[in-house]
Amino acid sequence: MTPEEFGYLASFLKKESGLVLSENKGYLIESRLLPLARDNGLDSISALVAKMRGGASKTLLDDVTEAMTTNESFFFRDKTPFNILEETVLPTLMKSRSTAKKLRIWCAAASTGQEPYSIAMILKEWSAKLPGWRFEIIGTDLSADVLRRAKLGKYTQFEVQRGLPIQMLVKYFKQDGSDWELSADIRNMVQYRKLNLLEDFSALGKFDIVFCRNVLIYFDQQTKGEILERTARLLTDDGYLFLGAAETVIGITGSFKPMAGQRGLYVPAGQAAKGAAVA
């Protein structure tokens, strides 16, 4: 792959998905796009680029974008956000929503479903103690392929061993050959939709909680700011935003402020003004 071909791919991916590809990520292109090239009868990245430039089908272009933007996911990833959800966010919102008894949650980078299903299992445990509540979880991702996997709710032994507590595995999964299948009760708590974060997503409606973890790190500062500003408009005035451990709103947007003592948790600036957060 020549520098010029790398430049073409970097420009294409930035335009289609917002992904910023630094020059030291040539290995990532090779590992993710060479198998795709061979599946399409092409023997090299150079041949794939030539095909893309020569009028490739939309399917192939979409496959290139999905191959480069698909990221790993696992159950209860990093643990801390889910502890904060249980110990801080849910008790507060359930008190303020005690009349409506409804919560809407958006997972903005759902991948193969482990994050939204982790949240669903937590909410299932809560609903046993607080009957009558309605929970709506929306999982979105750019990749149609990972969303298909997420909807199936079927995971390998390796995948269920990554972060999933054994009691959750026993309670909510059944073994299917060498794989594990999530119960219909949990699967039905999550709706999946294909969504590009670069586009308008206001049609999703209002949310009480947004998980947008480990995705902003792939965008440049301007794109991060635009996504966060649009996210702020979807969040209720007393809602919560979860970002990844390596992500922040500081220096990017004034619409959110970090919540004191809660790593990765942010609240709307208006809520922060009432003493819920520190700058």
Per-residue pLDDT for 37 more than 60? yes
Please count the other Cβ atoms lying within 10 Å of the Cβ belonging to residue 245.
Answer: 14
What is the C-alpha separation between 195 and 227, in angstroms, rounded?
13
Per-residue pLDDT for 9 more than 50? yes
Per-residue pLDDT for 58 more than 50? yes
pLDDT of residue 46: 92
Flag whether 75 is in a domain: no
Flag whether 29 is in a domain: yes
Q: Within 13 Å of residue 279, how many CA atoms lie on the same side as its CB?
A: 8
pLDDT of residue 277: 54
Per-residue pLDDT for 268 more than 80? yes
CB 221 within 8 A of CB 249: no
CATH of the domain at 11: 1.10.155.10
What mean pLDDT is predicted for residues 22-31? 80
Distance set, CA 129 to CA 18, 126, 132 (Å) = 42, 5, 10
Flag whether 201 is in a domain: yes
CB 8 within 8 A of CB 49: yes
What mean pLDDT is predicted for residues 112-141? 93
Flag whether 74 is in a domain: no
Per-residue pLDDT for 73 more than 90? no
Q: How many domains, the chain?
A: 2
What is the C-alpha separation between 152 and 38, in angstroms, rounded?
27
Q: Please give the mean pLDDT across all residues of the chain.
A: 90
What global pTM score does this model have?
Answer: 0.85
Burial, 207: exposed, middle or buried (Cβ in 10 Å; 0-12, 13-18, 19+)?
buried
Per-residue pLDDT for 272 more than 70? no
What is the C-alpha separation between 228 and 212, in angstroms, rounded?
9
pLDDT tens per residue, range 136-193: 999 999 888 899 999 999 999 999 998 999 999 999 999 999 899 999 999 999 999 9
Residues 207 and 106 occupy one common structural domain = yes
Domain extent, residue 105, equals 80-276
Flag whether 167 is in a domain: yes
pLDDT of residue 273: 47
pLDDT of residue 274: 54
CB 111 within 8 A of CB 70: yes
Residues 30 and 153 occupy one common structural domain = no
pLDDT of residue 168: 95
Residues 173 and 120 occupy one common structural domain = yes
Residues 191 and 65 occupy one common structural domain = no
pLDDT of residue 107: 98
SS3 (DSSP) at 68: helix
Q: Within 13 Å of residue 93, how many CA atoms lie on the same side as its CB?
A: 26
Where is the domain boundary, 69, 100, 126? 69
Highest mean pLDDT among 2-11, 52-61, 249-258, 269-278: 249-258
What is the C-alpha separation between 45 and 169, in angstroms, rounded?
41
pLDDT of residue 32: 84
pLDDT tens per residue, range 219-264: 889 999 999 999 999 999 999 999 998 899 999 999 999 998 898 9
What is the C-alpha separation between 113 and 272, in angstroms, rounded?
31
Look at 270 and 107; give whichever has higher pLDDT: 107
CB 134 within 8 A of CB 46: no
DSSP state of 115: H
CATH of the domain at 168: 3.40.50.150
